[in-house]
Amino acid sequence: MRKKTWNTLAAGALVAVMASSVITGCQGGQSTATAAAAAAQETHIQAEEAGKADTETTGGSKGSGDVHGTDMTPIDNYPASSLTITCPAGAGGGTDLLLRAMAPAMEEYLGVPVMVVNKPGGGFAIGYAAALQDSNDGSSISVALSELLGLPYVADVSFDYADFEPICNFNSTFGALSVNSSAPYDTVEEFVEYCKANPNTVRIGNSGIGGVWHILAASFAQEAGIEVVHVPFDGGGPAAVAVAGNNVEAVPVSAQEVQTYVEGGMVKILCSFSPERLPELPDVPTGTECGYPAQMTVFRGFLAPKGMSEDVKAMIDAATRYALADETVQEFMKAQNYTNNYMNADELKEMMDRENAVYAEQSKALGIAVK
C-alpha cells in the first residue's frame, strides 16, 4: 500500500486546486464486473467479521467503523474506465481536500483514474442537481453531505436524499455546546437553568438558517424546554468567532471550529452532541450523559445514481475502505483532526433516515420550511 509524506500530499492537493477543480491519477484496465464484484463483496464481508479498525472511530452515526478486510488486494476489472466523484462543495475546502487525499488510494484499488470534480453553488443544489444526471454504470458517484438532508426543507429544489443510493460513509463530525469562558455556567445543567431563568434572552449562534447546527440547536432547546434566540452566521467559523467575542451566549458547532478559542482561554465546551465522548475531549460529557440526546451529524460519504448495481457499489465501498486504511490518508486525517467514521450502505441510510426526520420536524417548528 502507498506510503507518502502528508506534506507531499498536501502540496499536490494545493497545486491541483490552483490548477483545476479536477484531479486525475494512474491509468487502469477494465473488463466485466462479476469477478471483481465478488472479490469486493467478499472483502466487505471479511471486513465486517474482522473486528474494529486500527483507525479510531466514533459511534451512533459511527457504524461498524471497520475498514480492514483480510484481503484488500487491488482489483483489475472495474467496469468503467474511470470514476468521477462530484463534490458539491468548493475546491480547497475540507471535503474537497479529504476527497483528494483519498483519491490516489481509491484508484490504486480500482485500477482506474479517480477524479474529483467540484460543482459548488446554490447551497450545494448545483452539484446535486448535476449528480442526478450521472450514469449509473460506475463512472460517476457523488459525495453524501449533511446539507443534502436540509436543503429540500429550506430551498426550492426538486430532489432529496432518497433520489440517490447510499454506498458508504467515511467521516463524521459532531457538534459541541460551547460558551464564552466568562459565562456564569460551567455545566449543561447550569446553562439550561440560566436559559429558563432568562427566556428568549440567550442567543445561540449557528452556521446558517436551516443548517445542521441550527437544527441541532433547535433540537437541544426543545429537549431542554428552553426558549432561546437563534442567531445565524455564514458558517460555523463565524459563529465560533461570535461566541469567543461574547456576541452570542452559545454555539453548537464542531469542536474543531472552536478549538483555537478553547486553547486561547476564550471558550469552554460544556458537552458534545456525539454518540460517545470525542477522542479529543475525553473529559467532556456527551449531551446524552447530561440528559439531552439531541444529535446531528456533519457526515461525508458516497452516493450512487439510482440503479447502480450492487456489484459496482460493493467495489466502491471496498475502495473507500482501502483508502481509509492507507497510511498517507491516515496521516492526512490525523493532521486535519478528521476521524474515520466508516459506515456501510445500510448504516448510512439508517442515519440519513433518522436525521432527515429531525430536519423535517425542526424546520417546520422553526417556521423555515418551504414545503
pLDDT computed for residue 332 by the predictor: 95
Judged against a pLDDT cut of 90, whether residue 117 lies above it is answered with yes
Give me the percent of the chain exceeding a pLDDT of 70.
Answer: 81
Total Cβ atoms within 10 A of residue 47: 24
* Contact between 103 and 97 (Cβ < 8 Å): no
Is residue 344 classed exposed, middle or buried when 0-12, 13-18 and 19+ CB atoms within 10 A define those classes? buried
Average pLDDT, the chain: 85
User: Is 174-296 the same fold as 6-173+298-360?
Assistant: yes
Contacts of 304 (CB under 8 A, 6+ apart): 136, 141, 164, 165, 166, 167, 312, 313, 316
Whether 175 has a pLDDT exceeding 80, the answer reads yes
Task: Spell out the domain ranges in the chain.
Answer: 6-173+298-360, 174-296
Report whether 145 contacts 113 (CB < 8 A): no
**8-35 burial by CB neighbour count: b if 16+ within 10 A, else e?**
ebbeebeebbeeebebebeebebeebee
- 120 CB neighbour count, 10 Å cutoff: 17
Question: What number does CATH give the domain 6-173+298-360?
Answer: 3.40.190.150
pLDDT beyond 60 at 21: no
| Residue 40: pLDDT over 80 | no
Q: Is 158 exposed, middle or buried (0-12, 13-18, 19+ CB in 10 A)?
A: exposed
Q: What is residue 353's predicted lDDT score, i.e. its pLDDT? A: 98
Write out the DSSP string of 151-217: HHHHS--S--GGGEEEEEEEEEEEEEEEEETTSS--SHHHHHHHHHHSTTT-EEEESSTTSHHHHHH
Residue 38: pLDDT over 90? no
How many Å is the maximal CA-CA distance in the chain? 68
Range from 19-33, 87-101, 221-235, 349-363 carrying the lowest mean pLDDT: 19-33
Amino acid at 7: N
Confidence band of 30 (pLDDT split at 50, 70, 90)? very low
* Residue closest to 67 by CA, chosen among 105, 13, 36, 115: 105
Query: Which is more confidently placed, 6 or 192?
Result: 192
Q: What is the rounded distance in angstroms from the CA atom of residue 189 to the CA atom of residue 106?
A: 46
Quick one: pLDDT band at residue 72, thresholds 50, 70, 90?
Answer: confident
Note the pLDDT of residue 272.
97
Asked if residue 15 has pLDDT above 90, the reply is no
Cell numbers at residue 230, please?
A: 437563534
Over residues 271-327, the pLDDT tens digits come to 999 999 998 899 999 999 999 999 999 999 999 999 999 999 999 999 999 999 999
Contact assessment for residue 194 and residue 329, using Cβ atoms and an 8 Å cutoff = no
Identity of the amino acid at 122: G
The answer to whether the CB of 244 falls within 8 A of the CB of 259 is: no
pTM for the full predicted model: 0.80
Segment 164-184 shows an average pLDDT of 97
At the top level of CATH, which class does the domain 174-296 belong to?
Answer: alpha beta
pLDDT value at 90 more than 90: yes
Mean pLDDT of 176-188: 98
- Inform me whether the pLDDT recorded for 33 exceeds 60: no
d(CA 364, CA 348): 24
What does the pLDDT read at residue 1? Answer: 58
Reported confidence tier of residue 2, pLDDT bands at 50, 70, 90? low
Q: What is the per-residue pLDDT across 247-280, written as a single tens digit (0 to 9) for each?
A: 999 999 999 999 999 999 999 999 999 999 998 8
